[in-house]
Each structure stands twice: as C-alpha cells, then as structure tokens.
Amino acid sequence: MGLLVYNAGANNTRGLFVELPEEVTQSVIAVNVLGQTNFARHYGALMVKRGRGGIILTGSLGGYLGSPTLAAYTASKSFSRIFTEALWAECAPLGVDVLHLNIGFTATPAMARLGLPIDLAEAPETVAREGLANIANGPVWIVSTPGNVEQARLISGIEDRAGTVRAHAIAPRAQTAKAALEQKKLVE
C-alpha cells in the first residue's frame, strides 16, 4: 500500500449530546477517531518501513469550532486535524507524506442521503484531485472551494470564542440549502 485515503465520517444524526443515545455518539467517535487512527497506524507503519508513501485523512470545516447538535462530530473532526498535524511532523522525516484534507460542502452520497442540495456542492473528483496534488503540502490543505479558506480563518480565531461559536455554528439541515445559495451569490 502506497497511499491511504481515509474519507469517512459523515454524521447522519443531530441532537443534544446529553440526549442522544450513547451508541450514536460512540459510532461517530469510532469512525472519525478510532478508525482513522487505527488505519493510519497500520498502513503508516508499513509506509515508514519502506521509507515512502502518503496518507490523506479527510476533515471538515466543522472541525474548527463546536456546533450545537453536532458535539461529537465537530469534536472528532477537530481531533482529526490535530492528529494529522502531529502525524505529519512524525512521518515527514521518514519519507511519508501526511495531509489533513479539509473539505467543504462536497457532493457525496452521504450528503445526498441527508437531503442536502448537492447541485451546489463541490464535485468529489475535484476534491480528490486537489488532495492528491497537494499531498506533499501538509500538514493541512483546505480545499479551494470558494469561501472555504476564509471560513476556516474566520472560525479559527480565539478572540470572543463564545461569540464565534454562536455566530458560525453549523446550521440545521433545513437552513443549509439557503446558506449554500447565499454563499454562491457572494462568490459570483
């Protein structure tokens, strides 16, 4: 194995963390944290032994701040980014490229199943090509979908963290289509 792309972690259940069934939050953590680290450990060790390879772990803008009704999801995506940064620093001198590919709204089957307007989303092929083209530019690459880098900067600030979380939390699904249309208008 010369390349690992761990692209899993869509969340299909929203709700208050303290009210969600434990198995829901454990499932999110299992996929986004345990699965990612287990795959990276196993295949990363093989790559390090050979002295070459690449690992892409996909993330989300949701990993830059906590969001109501998505506590486990946003926390696990934050873990992914920080984990990838550390793994990148460890593996770079050993010949293995590691990249946290921070994707925005992408037209995946998971998004379609959630009923989101994927016609406004980035094509998966575009996201994949950008990740592969930038695997050596780690530790983090934010996909160039219009607005992604600006959004990451905006929600990464440490000043008035409470206000930032309140103002930029991931909107409920019913509002997502409206927000995507507004973002598209800003870019055009």
| Single pTM value for the model | 0.81
Q: Please say whether the beta carbons of 111 and 121 come within 8 A.
A: yes
C-alpha 173/C-alpha 180 separation (Å) is: 11
pLDDT (tens digit, 9 = 90+) per residue, 1-29? 899 999 986 677 889 999 999 999 999 99
Q: How confident is the model at residue 171 (pLDDT cuts 50, 70, 90)?
A: low
CATH code of the domain containing 20? 3.40.50.720
Taken as a whole, the chain contains a residue count of: 188
Q: How far, in Å, are 27, 49, 152 from residue 72 at the CA level?
A: 9, 34, 19
DSSP-derived pairing of the beta strands 96-103 and 53-60? parallel
Highest average pLDDT, of 94-98, 142-146, 181-185, comes from 94-98
Q: Indicate the residue type of 182.
A: E
> 96 has which bridge partners?
53
pLDDT (tens digit, 9 = 90+) per residue, 107-135? 787 777 777 777 777 888 999 999 999 99
Q: Tell me the CA end-to-end span of the chain in Å, nearest whole number.
A: 41
Number of structural domains in the chain:
1
Q: Please say whether the beta carbons of 32 and 75 come within 8 A.
A: no
C-alpha 9/C-alpha 4 separation (Å) is: 15
Q: Domain range for residue 172?
A: 3-187
Strand order in the sheet with 96-103: 3-6, 53-60, 96-103, 140-142
